Chain A
Amino acid sequence: MNKTRIRVLVGKPGLDGHDRGAKVIARMLRDAGMEVIYSGLHQTPEQIVEAAIQEDVDLIGVSVLSGAHMTIFPRIKELLKEQNAEDILLMGGGTIPEEDIVSLIEAGHAEALFTPGATSTEIVSWIKSKLESSKEDVV
Chain B
Amino acid sequence: MSKEVLDQWIARSFEQDRRATAKLISWVEDDIERAHIMRSVLKKTGQKMVVGITGPPGAGKSSLVEALTKLYRARDERVGIVAVDPSSPYTGGAILGDRIRMQAHGTDRDVFIRSMGTRGHLGGVTRSTSDVLRILEGGGYGRLLLETVGVGQSELEIMQMADTVVVVLNPGTGDGIQAIKAGIMEVADVFVVNKADLPGADRMKNDIEMMLNLNGDTRPWRPPVVLTSVITETGVESLYEKIEAHQCYMLESGQRDERRKERLRQEVWRHWEDKMRALYEIVWEEAREERVILHQDDPYQLAQMLWEERFKGG
Please report A residues at the B interface, Cβ cutoff 8 Å: 1-5, 7, 26-27, 29-40, 43-44, 46-47, 50-51, 53-56, 83-85, 138-139
- Please determine whether B91 and A33 come into contact, CB atoms closer than 8 angstroms: yes
Given contacts A55-B114, A56-B22, contact A34 B93 (CB under 8 A): yes
Give residues of chain B (88-116) contacting chain A, Cβ–Cβ below 8 Å: 88, 91-97, 99-100, 103, 106-107, 109, 112-115
- B19's closest neighbor in chain A, by CB? A53
- Please determine whether A54 and B100 come into contact, CB atoms closer than 8 angstroms: no
- B108's closest neighbor in chain A, by CB? A50
- Please determine whether A1 and B274 come into contact, CB atoms closer than 8 angstroms: yes
Given A34, A37, A44, which contacts B115 in the complex, CB threshold below 8 Å?
A37
CA distance A54 to B80 in the complex (A): 11
Chain B residues with Cβ below 8 Å from A39 are 99-100
Chain B residues with Cβ below 8 Å from A54 are 18, 22, 112-114
Given contacts A3-B30, A35-B87, A35-B96, contact A56 B274 (CB under 8 A): no
CA distance A27 to B112 in the complex (A): 25
Chain A residues with Cβ below 8 Å from B74 are none
Say yes or no for B255: interface residue by CB 8 A criterion. Answer: no
- Please determine whether B23 and A56 come into contact, CB atoms closer than 8 angstroms: yes
Q: B23, B92, B93, B97 — which one has the most chain A CB atoms within 10 A of its CB?
A: B93
CA distance A103 to B117 in the complex (A): 37
User: B106-136 CB contact bits vs A (8 Å, 1 = yes)?
Assistant: 1101001111010100000000000000000
CA distance A30 to B87 in the complex (A): 9
Given A2, A32, A37, which contacts B32 in the complex, CB threshold below 8 Å?
A2
- Please determine whether B107 and A50 come into contact, CB atoms closer than 8 angstroms: yes
Chain A residues with Cβ below 8 Å from B91 are 30-33
Say yes or no for B214: interface residue by CB 8 A criterion. Answer: no
- Please determine whether B95 and A36 come into contact, CB atoms closer than 8 angstroms: yes
Given contacts A40-B103, A139-B32, contact A56 B26 (CB under 8 A): yes
Say yes or no for B31: interface residue by CB 8 A criterion. Answer: yes
CA distance A139 to B34 in the complex (A): 12
Given A36, A56, A83, which contacts B94 in the complex, CB threshold below 8 Å?
A36
- Please determine whether A33 and B31 come into contact, CB atoms closer than 8 angstroms: no
Q: B31, B95, B278 — which one has the most chain A CB atoms within 10 A of its CB?
A: B95
CA distance A38 to B112 in the complex (A): 16
